[in-house]
Amino acid sequence: MQRDEAVYQRQGFGAQLGLHGQIGLLIIDFVNGFADPAVFGGGNIPEAIRATVPVLAEARRRGWPVAHSRIVFADDGADRNIFALKVPSMLTLTEQAHISAIVPELEPAEGELVVRKTVPSAFFGTGLSSWLTQRSVQTLLVAGAVTSGCVRASVVDAMSYGFRPGVLADCVGDRALAPHEANLFDMGQKNADVMDSERLFETLAPFTA
Protein backbone atom coordinates (compact mmCIF):
# COMPACT_ATOMS: atom_id res chain seq x y z
CA MET A 1 0.00 0.00 0.00
CA GLN A 2 2.87 2.38 0.72
CA ARG A 3 4.16 1.89 -2.82
CA ASP A 4 0.68 2.64 -4.17
CA GLU A 5 0.41 5.78 -2.06
CA ALA A 6 3.76 6.99 -3.40
CA VAL A 7 2.51 6.62 -6.98
CA TYR A 8 -0.67 8.58 -6.24
CA GLN A 9 1.22 11.31 -4.39
CA ARG A 10 3.71 11.67 -7.22
CA GLN A 11 0.82 12.15 -9.65
CA GLY A 12 -0.86 14.76 -7.45
CA PHE A 13 -3.71 12.79 -5.92
CA GLY A 14 -4.89 12.86 -2.32
CA ALA A 15 -5.05 16.58 -1.56
CA GLN A 16 -6.97 17.43 1.62
CA LEU A 17 -10.32 19.20 1.34
CA GLY A 18 -10.70 20.15 4.99
CA LEU A 19 -13.79 21.08 6.96
CA HIS A 20 -15.14 24.26 5.42
CA GLY A 21 -18.35 26.16 6.06
CA GLN A 22 -21.54 24.50 7.21
CA ILE A 23 -21.10 20.80 7.94
CA GLY A 24 -23.79 18.22 7.21
CA LEU A 25 -24.05 14.51 7.98
CA LEU A 26 -25.33 11.85 5.58
CA ILE A 27 -26.01 8.36 6.97
CA ILE A 28 -26.44 5.89 4.13
CA ASP A 29 -28.60 2.75 4.36
CA PHE A 30 -27.96 1.80 7.97
CA VAL A 31 -31.13 -0.27 7.93
CA ASN A 32 -31.98 -3.54 9.63
CA GLY A 33 -31.26 -5.59 6.53
CA PHE A 34 -27.72 -4.28 6.24
CA ALA A 35 -27.15 -4.78 9.96
CA ASP A 36 -28.08 -8.46 9.66
CA PRO A 37 -25.44 -10.85 8.24
CA ALA A 38 -28.25 -13.22 7.26
CA VAL A 39 -29.75 -10.61 4.92
CA PHE A 40 -27.41 -8.00 3.39
CA GLY A 41 -24.93 -7.49 6.23
CA GLY A 42 -21.71 -8.93 7.58
CA GLY A 43 -18.13 -7.74 7.73
CA ASN A 44 -17.63 -4.63 9.84
CA ILE A 45 -21.11 -3.13 9.44
CA PRO A 46 -22.19 -3.66 13.09
CA GLU A 47 -19.06 -1.88 14.33
CA ALA A 48 -19.67 0.98 11.89
CA ILE A 49 -23.22 1.41 13.18
CA ARG A 50 -21.96 1.60 16.77
CA ALA A 51 -19.30 4.16 15.80
CA THR A 52 -21.92 6.32 14.09
CA VAL A 53 -24.09 6.70 17.21
CA PRO A 54 -21.84 9.33 18.91
CA VAL A 55 -21.28 11.10 15.58
CA LEU A 56 -25.02 11.50 15.09
CA ALA A 57 -25.36 12.74 18.67
CA GLU A 58 -22.64 15.33 18.07
CA ALA A 59 -24.24 16.43 14.78
CA ARG A 60 -27.53 16.98 16.57
CA ARG A 61 -25.83 18.84 19.42
CA ARG A 62 -24.21 21.18 16.93
CA GLY A 63 -27.37 21.64 14.87
CA TRP A 64 -25.93 20.22 11.65
CA PRO A 65 -28.30 19.24 8.85
CA VAL A 66 -28.66 15.46 8.97
CA ALA A 67 -29.94 13.22 6.18
CA HIS A 68 -30.50 9.48 6.13
CA SER A 69 -31.12 7.18 3.17
CA ARG A 70 -33.00 3.92 2.69
CA ILE A 71 -33.44 1.66 -0.31
CA VAL A 72 -37.19 1.39 -0.87
CA PHE A 73 -38.84 -0.41 -3.79
CA ALA A 74 -42.57 -0.53 -4.51
CA ASP A 75 -44.45 -3.46 -2.98
CA ASP A 76 -45.27 -4.81 -6.45
CA GLY A 77 -41.79 -4.13 -7.86
CA ALA A 78 -43.21 -1.68 -10.39
CA ASP A 79 -40.09 0.47 -10.07
CA ARG A 80 -37.63 -2.39 -10.54
CA ASN A 81 -34.54 -1.25 -12.38
CA ILE A 82 -31.08 -2.42 -13.45
CA PHE A 83 -29.89 -2.40 -9.82
CA ALA A 84 -32.70 -4.82 -8.97
CA LEU A 85 -31.89 -6.89 -12.05
CA LYS A 86 -28.30 -7.21 -10.85
CA VAL A 87 -29.30 -7.81 -7.20
CA PRO A 88 -32.90 -9.15 -7.27
CA SER A 89 -33.05 -9.49 -3.49
CA MET A 90 -33.05 -5.68 -3.23
CA LEU A 91 -36.73 -5.83 -4.21
CA THR A 92 -37.47 -7.13 -0.70
CA LEU A 93 -36.61 -3.67 0.65
CA THR A 94 -40.10 -2.20 0.58
CA GLU A 95 -41.58 0.66 2.60
CA GLN A 96 -43.07 -1.41 5.43
CA ALA A 97 -40.49 -4.22 5.45
CA HIS A 98 -38.58 -4.54 8.71
CA ILE A 99 -35.32 -4.99 6.81
CA SER A 100 -35.78 -1.59 5.13
CA ALA A 101 -36.27 0.32 8.40
CA ILE A 102 -33.41 2.41 9.78
CA VAL A 103 -31.78 0.72 12.77
CA PRO A 104 -33.30 1.89 16.08
CA GLU A 105 -30.08 3.38 17.46
CA LEU A 106 -29.90 5.77 14.48
CA GLU A 107 -33.61 6.49 14.14
CA PRO A 108 -34.14 9.85 12.42
CA ALA A 109 -35.25 12.75 14.54
CA GLU A 110 -37.78 15.41 13.63
CA GLY A 111 -36.39 17.71 10.93
CA GLU A 112 -33.90 15.17 9.56
CA LEU A 113 -34.36 14.21 5.94
CA VAL A 114 -35.03 10.58 4.99
CA VAL A 115 -34.17 9.90 1.35
CA ARG A 116 -35.82 6.91 -0.34
CA LYS A 117 -33.87 5.56 -3.28
CA THR A 118 -33.76 2.60 -5.66
CA VAL A 119 -30.17 2.98 -6.83
CA PRO A 120 -26.83 3.12 -4.98
CA SER A 121 -26.41 6.90 -4.86
CA ALA A 122 -28.44 8.89 -2.33
CA PHE A 123 -28.28 11.81 -4.77
CA PHE A 124 -29.51 10.22 -8.01
CA GLY A 125 -33.14 11.09 -8.68
CA THR A 126 -33.68 12.52 -5.18
CA GLY A 127 -33.92 15.98 -3.63
CA LEU A 128 -30.87 15.51 -1.41
CA SER A 129 -28.60 17.96 -3.23
CA SER A 130 -31.10 20.83 -3.14
CA TRP A 131 -31.96 20.05 0.51
CA LEU A 132 -28.30 20.32 1.50
CA THR A 133 -27.77 23.43 -0.62
CA GLN A 134 -30.78 25.13 0.94
CA ARG A 135 -29.14 24.57 4.32
CA SER A 136 -25.81 26.00 3.09
CA VAL A 137 -23.91 22.72 3.54
CA GLN A 138 -20.39 22.82 2.11
CA THR A 139 -18.76 19.87 3.89
CA LEU A 140 -20.68 16.60 3.93
CA LEU A 141 -19.59 13.92 6.39
CA VAL A 142 -20.60 10.43 5.33
CA ALA A 143 -21.36 7.27 7.31
CA GLY A 144 -23.18 4.17 6.18
CA ALA A 145 -23.18 0.97 4.18
CA VAL A 146 -21.78 -0.42 2.13
CA THR A 147 -18.41 1.25 1.55
CA SER A 148 -17.89 -0.21 -1.91
CA GLY A 149 -21.45 0.36 -3.07
CA CYS A 150 -23.93 2.98 -1.91
CA VAL A 151 -21.35 4.91 0.12
CA ARG A 152 -18.94 5.10 -2.79
CA ALA A 153 -21.67 6.10 -5.27
CA SER A 154 -23.01 8.80 -2.94
CA VAL A 155 -19.55 10.21 -2.22
CA VAL A 156 -18.73 10.50 -5.92
CA ASP A 157 -22.04 12.26 -6.55
CA ALA A 158 -21.56 14.55 -3.54
CA MET A 159 -18.21 15.63 -4.97
CA SER A 160 -19.77 16.07 -8.41
CA TYR A 161 -22.46 18.35 -6.95
CA GLY A 162 -19.79 20.53 -5.34
CA PHE A 163 -19.86 19.33 -1.74
CA ARG A 164 -16.64 18.49 0.13
CA PRO A 165 -17.10 14.86 1.20
CA GLY A 166 -15.56 13.55 4.39
CA VAL A 167 -15.80 9.77 4.78
CA LEU A 168 -15.71 8.62 8.40
CA ALA A 169 -13.65 5.45 8.05
CA ASP A 170 -14.90 3.74 11.21
CA CYS A 171 -18.50 4.73 10.47
CA VAL A 172 -18.73 3.06 7.07
CA GLY A 173 -18.95 -0.68 6.70
CA ASP A 174 -19.00 -3.44 4.13
CA ARG A 175 -19.90 -7.11 4.09
CA ALA A 176 -16.34 -7.85 2.98
CA LEU A 177 -13.25 -6.05 4.27
CA ALA A 178 -11.13 -6.13 1.11
CA PRO A 179 -13.53 -3.93 -0.94
CA HIS A 180 -14.08 -1.77 2.15
CA GLU A 181 -10.37 -1.01 2.47
CA ALA A 182 -9.79 -0.63 -1.28
CA ASN A 183 -12.64 1.84 -1.65
CA LEU A 184 -11.58 3.89 1.37
CA PHE A 185 -8.14 4.20 -0.22
CA ASP A 186 -9.55 5.15 -3.62
CA MET A 187 -12.05 7.69 -2.28
CA GLY A 188 -9.30 9.23 -0.18
CA GLN A 189 -7.18 9.72 -3.27
CA LYS A 190 -9.86 10.98 -5.66
CA ASN A 191 -13.09 12.14 -4.05
CA ALA A 192 -13.01 12.79 -0.31
CA ASP A 193 -11.10 13.24 2.89
CA VAL A 194 -11.03 9.99 4.86
CA MET A 195 -10.76 10.23 8.64
CA ASP A 196 -12.04 8.29 11.62
CA SER A 197 -14.54 9.73 14.07
CA GLU A 198 -11.89 10.24 16.75
CA ARG A 199 -9.95 12.50 14.39
CA LEU A 200 -13.16 14.36 13.58
CA PHE A 201 -13.86 15.01 17.26
CA GLU A 202 -10.26 16.18 17.78
CA THR A 203 -10.62 18.60 14.86
CA LEU A 204 -13.91 19.93 16.18
CA ALA A 205 -12.74 20.23 19.78
CA PRO A 206 -11.42 23.83 19.53
CA PHE A 207 -14.76 24.99 18.17
CA THR A 208 -17.76 25.26 20.46
CA ALA A 209 -21.15 24.27 19.12
Q: Name the active-site residue from 71, 115, 142, 150.
A: 150
The amino acid occupying position 209 is A
Does the annotation count 150 as an active-site position? yes
What φ, ψ does residue 24 adopt, rounded to 5°? Answer: -125, 165
Write the burial class of residue 120 (CB in 10 Å: 0-12 exposed, 13-18 middle, 19+ buried): buried
- CA gap 163, 175 in Å, rounded: 27
* Interior angle at CA 155, CA 124 and CA 19, nearest 5: 130
* Interior angle at CA 94, CA 92 and CA 95, nearest 5: 160
- CA gap 167, 187 in Å, rounded: 8
Write the burial class of residue 58 (CB in 10 Å: 0-12 exposed, 13-18 middle, 19+ buried): middle
9-20 burial code (b ≥16 CB/10 A, e <16): eeeeeeeeeebe
Catalytically active residues, by annotation? 150
